[in-house]
Every structure is written in C-alpha cells, then in structure tokens.
Structure 1
Amino acid sequence: MEVLSFLGIVVGVGALLLGNVLEGGQLSAILNPIAFMIVIGGTMGAVMVHTPTKIFLKSLGAFPRVFFPPKLKAELVVKQFMVMARACKKDGSLQAGNYENKFDDAFIRKAIKMLADNAEVDLIEDILHRDIDLEERNHRLHAEVYKSMGGYSPTIGLVGAILGLINVMSYLDSPSQLGHGLAVAFTATLYGVSFANLVFIPVAEKLTILSEREANFRDMVVAGVVSIRSGESLSTTESRLRSYLDDRLASGWN
C-alpha cells in the first residue's frame, strides 16, 4: 500500500476540519449532502459528456492504483535477468524459454518469448516499444480524466453557490429559511475547490508518475533482452540494467 497517498488525503482533509474547529465552527456546518450531490454529480456528469465510455470506466478502475501501485520489483528482475543472460551466453538464446514462466509480468514474458524465438533486435524493440507507448497513452488518458474532474469541480461548486443564492433570494421574506440556502452556497464552493485540489488533481499527478515509473521499468526490460539478443558481454548487460535502477524514478519501484 502507498501509505503516503492515503496519509496525504487524511492530512489534507484533517487540516481543513481542524481549522474549521479552531475557528469556532462546527463540523455539522460543513457537512452538507445537497452541496456534495451538486458538486460530485455535476462534476461526474460533465466528465461523462466529454469522455468515451470505456476510458471513463477504466479511469475509475485506475483509482486504486494511487493507493496500491503495482510492485515492479526491479532489483529482483535484474538478478533474474542476469541468471538468464548467463544461460543464454552459454547455450544460446533458446535457453531463455526456460525462464519465461518465472515472471508474473505479461510484458516480461512476452519479451523473453521473443528472445527465445531469436527475433531480430529491431523487431523486438519495435513491438515492445509499441506496447510501452500504448500502455503509457492509456495511463495518460486515465490521468486526464481526473485532471478534467479537477477543472470542472470548482466551477460546479460555483454553480452550487449560485443555486444556493437563488434560494436565498426566494426566501427573503422568511429569514428562518435563509441559513439553509447560504449553507448550500458556501459549502458547494468549499467542496468544489477542496475536491479539486485534495483529490482529483493529486490523483491525476500520481497516476502520471506511476505511468512514468512503469514505462521506465519496461524500458529496462527491453534493454536487457536486446543486450542478451545482441550477444553483449555479461558485464555490459548488467550495466545496462543497473543504469535503470540508478534512475531517480527507481525509488518507487520496489
């Protein structure tokens, strides 16, 4: 579990609630289901209009990745690749087929299968990099959905505020009803801005970072397979693989 993501939301929301209490406010004053419905419902509706169905549904399914990102285990993969590289160096690339089932990652298994089939280096790079680009593009589309939510949310909050003020105007002759309309107006604005800056935009940025890490990891796999297929020395293969572990994004791999 990515504890920092969970902790970030808790700290952000907690700071708002604590600040409200310290200023003398009551928790019940900012818990408004009507304002929540307006902001979340309006935001989702706006995003659904401009997003294709499959992308929208998959983007919702990508949300848990923020808290439970895939464990890439790059260090272990490098060690396993070096074992495979020694076997291939000794008995040829066909030996790579014996290692295919040692990996759970479908992309790695595909790369190793191409190595065992003695595919040309150019073909290996072309097919695998196309797969990487496709996956990265899909991840980017998912992140864009949350960025859109972050853009619409404050505006929908403003719409909720206007609706609340309209209700206030209709109750000018009934002072006892004014408080309800004003509550919806201000809490809708609060929800719109808060959800945008504490949830939607951070989620989009986190998904983008995770996508970059995965793409870098898969680039490492391609580099390793290509190095083995090209007949490079074991020390060169290991250097190529470990150069990716030294990358600044590697800190979040394991």
Structure 2
Amino acid sequence: MDRLSIIGVVLALAALLGGSVLKGAGLAGLWSPAAFVIVILGTLAAILVQTPMSTFRRAMAIVRWVFQPPARDGKALVARIVDWSNVARRQGLLGLEVELDMLQDDFLRKGLQMVVDGSEPDAIRQTLEIELESHQHRDIAAAKVFEGMGIYAPTLGIIGAVLGLMSVMKNLADPGHLGHGIAAAFTATIYGIGSANLLLLPMAAKLKGVIAGQALDREMLIEGLIAIAQGENPRNIEARLSGYLH
C-alpha cells in the first residue's frame, strides 16, 4: 500500500473542504448536481471518445497501482539471477528448466525459457526488448487516459461556469437569486480545476513512475539473462546488476 498516495488524497480533500469553510463558502457551497453532470460526466465522455476500448480497460485495470503498486524488490531479483547463474555454471543451462514452473511472471518465464533453449544472446535481447517496449507502450497509453481527463476537466469546468452565468443573466430581474446563481456557476470551475490538479494529473504521474520502475526491473532482468546465456561469472553479473539498484 502506497501511504504517500493515501496521505496526498486526504490532504487534497482537507485543503479543498477546509479552504471552502475558512473562506466562508461552507461545505454546501461545493455541492452542485449540475456542475457534477457537466464536469465529471463531460470529462468521462471526452476521454471515451479519445480512447480505444482496450486502452480504457487497461487504464481501469492499473488505476489501483496509484494506491497499491506492484511489489518491487530489486535486490531479490538480482539475488535470483545470481542463483540462476550459479546453477547454470554447475549444471548447464538445462539445469534451469526446473525453475520455469515456479515463475508467475510471463516476461520472466519467457526470458528464462529462451536461455534454457540455448537461444543466442542477441536473439534474447531483441525478443525481450520488443516485448518490454510493447508492455511499456500499452501501460503508458493507459496512464495517459488520466492525464487526458486532467486536461479536459478544467475546460469542462469553464463550460459549466459559462452555462451557470447564462442562467444568471436570464434572471437579472430577480436580484435575490443573483448571488446564489453566480456561486453555483463557479462551483463547476472548482470541480474541473480541483479534480484535474488534485487527483487526475497526480494519478497519471504516479502511474508513469510505477511503469518506469517496472521497465527498469525488466531491463535489469534482460541484462542478467543475457549474461547467464553468455556464461559470465556470477560475481561479475552481481556487480553489473547492482548498478540498477541505485
């Protein structure tokens, strides 16, 4: 569980709600069904038009990474690769075959399978780098879904404010409702700018960071598997891969 993300969301809500109270607007002033429909549903509609279905589904699948990112343990991965290199030196590459059934990660299993099969190092690198790039491209596109929502939301907030002011202008003959109408109009702007800058854009940035971390681990794995295929000394492999941990 990512505590910083949870703390950030709590502080964002506290800043927004607390600021509304301290400024005298009150909590009730932040609620506007019309603004919610225009900004939230409008933003969702815009991103659905922009995004392919497969990318949107992937975005919904990885959104949990904001609060619960995939576990990463670079030291454990380096230790596992070094263990594999020791096994390969003692028993040959076929000695690693028993490890395949214990691997849950498809990328890791595919790479080790190529090593066991005796594939050339260049072929291993080319195959795994293509798959890595494909995975990374797919996940970055999914993260950009939230980035896109963060771009559209403020604009929809302005549209909501303009629509609200249009309603106010139609009722200029009733001064008693002008103040309330103007306040309700600007609520849409708060929804748009607040959701973008306190939630959507930070979510996109956090997801991109998680994806970059995963890519780094896989780059380290590729280097380790190629070193095993080339029969390098386990100590040299460990020294080389340790650079990724910094």
| Common fold: TM-score over 0.5 | yes
Q: Which residue does 1:44 correspond to in 2?
A: 44
Where does 1:74-223 land on structure 2 (aligned, <5 Å)?
74-223=74-223
1:179 positional shift: 4.4
TM-score scaled to structure 2, two decimals? 0.95
**Which has the larger displacement, 178-187 or 204-213?**
178-187
Rounded to whole Å, the distance in 1 between the matches of 2:42 and 2:129 is 39
> Would the aligned equivalents of 1:160 and 1:184 in 2 still touch at CA under 8 Å?
no
Rounded to whole Å, the distance in 1 between the matches of 2:58 and 2:26 is 38
Rounded to whole Å, the distance in 2 between the matches of 1:219 and 1:45 is 37
Give secondary structure in 2 for the equivalent of 1:97. helix
1:61 positional shift: 2.3
Alpha-carbon distance change, 185 to 46 in structure 1, aligned in 2, over 3 angstroms: same
1:21 positional shift: 1.6
- 2:237 is the alignment partner of 1:237: yes
1:159 positional shift: 0.1
2:92 aligned partner, one-letter code: G
Structure 2: 5+ residue runs without aligned partners?
none
1:235 aligned partner, one-letter code: R
2:80 aligned partner, one-letter code: Q
1:151 positional shift: 1.0
1:74 positional shift: 2.1
Larger relative contact order, structure 1 or 2 (CA cutoff 8 Å, min sep 6): 2
Post-superposition, which runs of at least 4 consecutive aligned residues in structure 1 deviate over 6 A?
Answer: none
> Would the aligned equivalents of 2:216 and 2:244 in 1 still touch at CA under 8 Å?
yes
Rounded to whole Å, the distance in 2 between the matches of 1:74 and 1:33 is 47
Rounded to whole Å, the distance in 1 between the matches of 2:97 and 2:198 is 47
1:181 positional shift: 2.9
> Would the aligned equivalents of 1:146 and 1:201 in 2 still touch at CA under 8 Å?
yes
> Would the aligned equivalents of 2:151 and 2:196 in 1 still touch at CA under 8 Å?
yes
Alpha-carbon distance change, 103 to 77 in structure 1, aligned in 2, over 3 angstroms: farther
1:234 positional shift: 1.1
Give secondary structure in 2 for the equivalent of 1:165. helix
1:170 positional shift: 1.5
Question: RMSD value over aligned CA atoms?
Answer: 1.4
Rounded to whole Å, the distance in 2 between the matches of 1:149 and 1:184 is 22
TM-score scaled to structure 1, two decimals? 0.92
1:89 aligned partner, one-letter code: R
2:147 aligned partner, one-letter code: K
1:76 positional shift: 1.6
Give secondary structure in 2 for the equivalent of 1:25. coil
Rounded to whole Å, the distance in 2 between the matches of 1:186 and 1:84 is 62
Structure 1: 5+ residue runs without aligned partners?
247-254
Q: Percent identity?
A: 37
Rounded to whole Å, the distance in 2 between the matches of 1:163 and 1:180 is 14
* Residue deviations 1:213-253 (CA, integer Å, cap 9, x gap): 0000001111111001001111111112211112xxxxxxx
Q: Which residue does 1:32 correspond to in 2?
A: 32
1:50 aligned partner, one-letter code: Q
Give secondary structure in 2 for the equivalent of 1:155. helix
